[in-house]
């Protein structure tokens, strides 16, 4: 269970980082994405990444 939580946490951090960078207009991949240069995706990405960090921390304490 601990390993699964850590894997999910890492995936959340990676996905959140991608969403954040797409929302900021830094990453333009895929080119047809509706998330490019839309600032609200910076918020959602940041929140997802923070959730992933918290999940990793919680899994390590178990």
Q: Is 29 left (phi over 0), alpha (psi -120 to 50) or beta?
A: beta
pLDDT of residue 60 exceeding 90, the answer is yes
Q: Which of 54, 25, 47 is nearest to 37 (CA)?
A: 25
- Report d(CA 35, CA 29) in Å as an integer: 10
Model confidence, pTM:
0.91
Dump pLDDT digits (tens) for 4-59.
Answer: 999 999 999 999 999 999 999 999 999 999 999 999 999 999 999 999 999 999 99
Q: Is 37 left (phi over 0), alpha (psi -120 to 50) or beta?
A: left
Q: Where are the domains positioned within the chain?
A: 1-61
pLDDT of residue 62 exceeding 90, the answer is no
């Amino acid at each position: 269970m601990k390993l699964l939580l850590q894997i999910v946490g890492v995936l959340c951090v990676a996905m959140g980082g991608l969403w954040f960078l797409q929302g900021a207009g830094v990453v333009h991949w895929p080119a047809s994405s509706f998330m490019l240069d839309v600032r609200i995706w910076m918020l959602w990405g940041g929140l997802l990444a923070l959730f992933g960090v918290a999940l990793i921390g919680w899994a390590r304490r178990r």
